[in-house]
Amino acid sequence: MPLVATGSIVEPAARSRRGVGAFNVIQLEHAEAIVAGAERAGAPVVLQISENAVRYHGALAPIGRAALAVARAADVPVALHLDHATSAELVREAVQLGFTSVMFDASALAYDANVRATAEVVSRCHADGVWVEAELGEVGGKDGVHAAGARTDPGEAAAFVASTGVDALAVAVGSSHAMLTRDAVLDLDLIAVLDGAVPVPLVLHGSSGVADGHLTAAVEHGMTKVNIATHLNKVFTAAVRACLAGEHDLVDTRRYLGAGRASVTDEVARLLGVLRAVNP
């Protein structure tokens, strides 16, 4: 199954009220595990590489090309997405490498500046056939969509989409990045209102902090693309710790990284079942 356009995964899912798992890649093992989990579940998936992960590796190309290779060898549809890019130059590099979508994050800017910057990125990406996600939350809040208590205004969201031409919109409905507990309370009524007001698929960021039942409910109320990163890192790290604790003289990195990869594979397959087990 070749690498596919992100829109070819997300847009049909939005029409059929199904969730799409979008999982972040830091090491090669993440990409391998995410695709293996998707293959086990028989579901399409989105691999994501964030600007922070690019900073960790020192460049986009090495981890980006590795993820592209994993995606192209998959038995299920896989898209590759640049996550939370604040640099237009990084967006251009991702497009040149062959990423199928980007998330341009200008949410820390005031509304008008966010619109201008996002619209410029959308125009360039659409010229290359690349799908664009953006973010809208607390206007002018330096923490953007994930500022404490931030909520996206439906009317403003609709106007933002119309003004920028984005293909999907990340909205503030109660989740937060980097949560280590899964007890975030989503505003399901607001998700439903946003779904009715915004003509493009909705994206939930900070989904690691959301319990299974609430993830399913969010999809039922109109959320489509569900981003998960921290939760998988917890799963990976727990498996590595358990492996090392059990064998104090273990030095073969393949053994403990392999344990982490296997655990993430299991969890991705399980989460994709959670996101797709929705009754329209």
User: Residues in the chain, how many?
Assistant: 280
Q: What is the DSSP string of 7-40?
A: HHHHHHHHHHT--EEEEE-SSHHHHHHHHHHHHH
Catalytic residue set: 83
Helices (H), ranges, the chain: 6-16, 28-41, 51-57, 61-72, 88-97, 111-127, 154-164, 188-197, 212-220, 230-246, 253-276
At 129, the amino acid letter reads G
Q: Say if residues 232 and 23 touch (Cβ distance below 8 Å).
A: yes
DSSP structural state of residue 3 = B
